[in-house]
Structure 1
Amino acid sequence: MIRHNKERVESMPAKDIDHDIVVHCLKQSGWTILAEQNYISIGDSSESHRRLYIDIQAQSHNGKIVLIEVKALDRSPVHQLMELLGQYLVYRAALDYLEIDVPLYVAVPVTAYQGIFSHILGQQIMQQHALPLMIYDPVQEAILQWMPQP
């Protein structure tokens, strides 16, 4: 989808390969999907205005709302881990600046959790940046674990 802004054209980012699987996992676990490809706006002028698209906004049966960024990590694990961390930090900084107090999770498949996230580098990043994860199984289409629990 293309959205026109006075002087520039903005396009929505493509969905991650596992986006629909994560949506299905959430629904199967009793979550309600409030929005997909939801954006937050930050910046004062048209030159500094930015839209940041977050994959999923969901609500649990007890009313807890979370934001979820989906990352399949299906290519170069270290490169994608660097990209994931940078994106998470930018989104978290924007949410904090806008005083949006909603947890932001990164959804990763169990293979990535058992792979790059079990490596010393992944462990250090999770510890150092308190990276919240939602671990899912794309084959069984199920949420396996939230870290920390929402």
Structure 2
Amino acid sequence: MAKDRFHQVVKTALIKDGWNVTHDPLRIKVGGVEMEIDLGAEILLAAERGDEKIAVEVKSFLASASAISEFHTALGQFINYRAALRREEADRILYLAVPDLTYNSFFQLDFPVSMLQENAVKIMVYNIEVEEILQWQN
């Protein structure tokens, strides 16, 4: 249930930020593989603002899960989705959506910071309570 709620939180935050949500979810077929993140876990959410196109992989980083385990999954998915987008929708930029509480704690530790930099991960930080985007990090 919490992940569905976070999906809607991010969708609402994008709309508040002026984005038009165009795909929910965004399905990609590349190299014989179909990619889609299902609602129960996380969603690949696409939005457009002007001629900017983005795809957003929503992660909840629930307290009950291991942060490093969720980070491994998020980073692997991000790398795969970015590669697929480069082949199929090269004009769409991928962001990893992360709750502010996780961003301000786990994502400030040395190892996650270095891995995000090494893999050029773009991050969208969102607040669950106010359903707003707090920061875009390129």
Q: TM-score, normalized by length of structure 2?
A: 0.86
Higher helix fraction: Structure 1 or Structure 2? 2
Amino acid at match of 2:3: D
* Separation in 2, partners of 1:65, 1:109: 21
Q: Which stretch has the larger CA shift, 62-71 or 79-88?
A: 62-71
| More deviation, 92-101/72-81 | 92-101
In the alignment, which residue of structure 1 is the partner of 2:40?
Answer: none
Q: List runs of 5+ in structure 1 lacking aligned partners.
A: 1-13, 44-48
Measured in 2, the distance between the counterparts of 1:39 and 1:76 equals 28
C-alpha displacement at 1:15, in angstroms?
Answer: 9.4
| Conserved 8 A contact 2:52-2:92 | no
Q: CA RMSD in A?
A: 1.8
Matched, 1:16 2:3: yes
Identity of aligned residues (%): 30
Equivalenced residue count is 129
**Residues 24 and 122 (structure 1), Cα distance of their counterparts in 2 relative to 1, 3 Å cut:** same
2:34 aligned partner, one-letter code: R
Choose which of 17, 21, 24 in structure 2 pairs with 1:29: 17
Give 1:41's aligned residue: 29
> Are residues 15 and 65 of structure 1, via their aligned partners in 2, closer, same or farther at CA, if it must alter by over 3 Å?
farther
Work out which of the two has the higher radius of gyration on C-alpha atoms and give 1 or 2: 1
Amino acid paired to 1:52: M
Greater relative contact order (Cα 8 A, min sep 6): structure 1 or 2? 2
Letter in 1 for 2:97: A
Query: Retained in 1: the 8 A contact 2:26–2:46?
Result: yes
| CA distance, structure 2, for counterparts of residue 38 and residue 67 of structure 1 | 8
Query: Structure 2 regions of 5+ residues with no counterpart?
Result: 38-43
TM-score, L = length of structure 1: 0.80
Structure number with higher strand proportion: 1
| Cα distance, 1:127–1:25 mapped onto 2, change above 3 Å | same
Alpha-carbon deviations, 1:77-103, whole Å to 9, x = none?
100000000011111122223362311
Cα distance in 2 for residues equivalent to 1:16 and 1:85: 18
Residue number in structure 1 paired with 2:75: 85
Residue 19 of structure 1 aligns with an amino acid whose one-letter code is H
2:47 maps to which of 44, 55, 58: 58
Partner of 2:41: none
